A = this chain, B = another copy of it.
Amino acid sequence: MNVDGRWRRTIEVRDPGTVIVLDQAKLPHEVSWLALDDLDATAHAIREMHVRGAPLIGATAAHGVALALRGGRSLDEACTMLAASRPTAINLRWALDHMRLRIAEVPADTQVDVADAEAARICDADVACCEAIGDHGVALIRAVAERHGGRPVQVLTHCNAGWLATVDWGTALAPIYKAHEAGIAVHVWVDETRPRNQGLLTAWELAQHGVPHTVIADNAGGHLMQQGKVDLCLVGTDRTTRNGDVCNKIGTYLKALAAHDNGVPFYAAVPSSSIDWTVGEPSEIPIEERAGDELRYLAGRGDRGGTTRIAILAGTTAVGNPAFDVTPRRLMTGLVTERGITSATAAGLAALFPEHAADHAAARDPDAGRPERGKDRR
């Protein structure tokens, strides 16, 4: 999508040994690109969230494997170090597994070239996947717009599941960009998303595209839904169980509760790479506890210009910082995947992805006895 009016991807190959990524730790205060030329730099960029968002983390890790091999590091070392850089993101594991399989099957002297090609292919596939999510999801927005007769469709989103979280288009924001391109009036309520304020990234990228939006504190969304000011919630996911539970940025669960309480449809944009077919229940997902300093310190523009850091809490104050929560499938209206929209159920996901689901979901659907609820529920 656009950066200063020019269409860019969040990760681009500058030359065979160097990948450049938009440095998201500096956004939205500064636009700068970070050059990654080895395994350590790549793992560091993921761990310190210079790149972030599950799909982009996967794409970056794939390039990280290629950079590692080019630098003479082993495939095992690369995968181990990169897998440890963000434990919750399922796409990271998926991308590393994919790279490992592809590379292991080719002769040693072609591994570097194969790794480069596979990393590029993962990036292209991510773009295609996101665009497909946008093409399917736009139907949800169009349906509201048709009921409204022109009044802007009010969409609430949490965190950043935009193009910055992917290689291009985004997941949750892809339907919004598609709606905007189709001339459907849409306005986005952007959750600030403490503690890392990824909502500011969402606001930044929406502004770059001219999509109307309003930033709100994470506390405000429930009230807006009570007031009838939200038509639709669209969020991303870091990991989705095969039964449709959605692990996403901390606070997503609270918005899903409010949506449920107020009859507001609540959808997650779910690229199939984020579905963990080995996991059936929320309790099986490890939740990353991040450093308290993420809450204690904030960066922004100082009164004299330039990026300035402040502490809002003393270092001695105890801070709890779980990075994700799991929204139980019972609170999800549906899931928008690259193959279409389905219910947040084992059956719904299995119908769209039979090749993955066969081993896991069919034999043991925990909701087989649940009352019918989603539109694709069979």
* A140 at interface by CB-CB < 8 Å: no
Chain A contacts with B in 269-285, Cβ cutoff 8 A = 282
Cross-chain contact A216 with B319 (CB below 8 angstroms): yes
Tell me the complex Cα distance, A69–B245, Å. 62
Chain A at the B interface: SS class: mixed
CB-CB under 8 A from A287, the residues of chain B are 223
* A20 at interface by CB-CB < 8 Å: no
Q: Indicate with 1 or 0, residue by residue over A278-306, a CB within 8 angstroms of chain B CB atoms.
A: 00001000010000000100111111000
Tell me the complex Cα distance, A311–B251, Å. 23
One of A109-117, A143-151, A192-200 at the interface: A192-200
Cross-chain contact A320 with B215 (CB below 8 angstroms): yes
Cβ-defined partner of A220 (8 Å) among B282, B310, B320? B320
Cross-chain contact A215 with B295 (CB below 8 angstroms): yes
CB-CB under 8 A from A249, the residues of chain B are 219
* A224 at interface by CB-CB < 8 Å: yes
Tell me the complex Cα distance, A257–B225, Å. 13
Tell me the complex Cα distance, A28–B310, Å. 13
CB-CB under 8 A from A313, the residues of chain B are 28, 200, 203, 215
CB-CB under 8 A from A192, the residues of chain B are 194-195, 295
CB-CB under 8 A from A212, the residues of chain B are 318
CB-CB under 8 A from A309, the residues of chain B are 302-303, 310
* Interface residue ranges, A against B (CB under 8 Å): 28, 189, 192-195, 197, 200, 203, 207, 212-224, 226, 249-251, 253-255, 257-258, 261, 282, 287, 295, 298-303, 308-314, 317-322, 324-326
11 additional contacts, CB 8 Å, given A217-B295, A220-B325, A298-B298?
A: A28-B314, A193-B219, A197-B312, A214-B318, A217-B321, A219-B249, A220-B250, A223-B250, A224-B322, A298-B300, A301-B310
Q: Top 4 closest A-B pairs, CB basis?
A: A219-B251, A300-B310, A223-B325, A257-B257
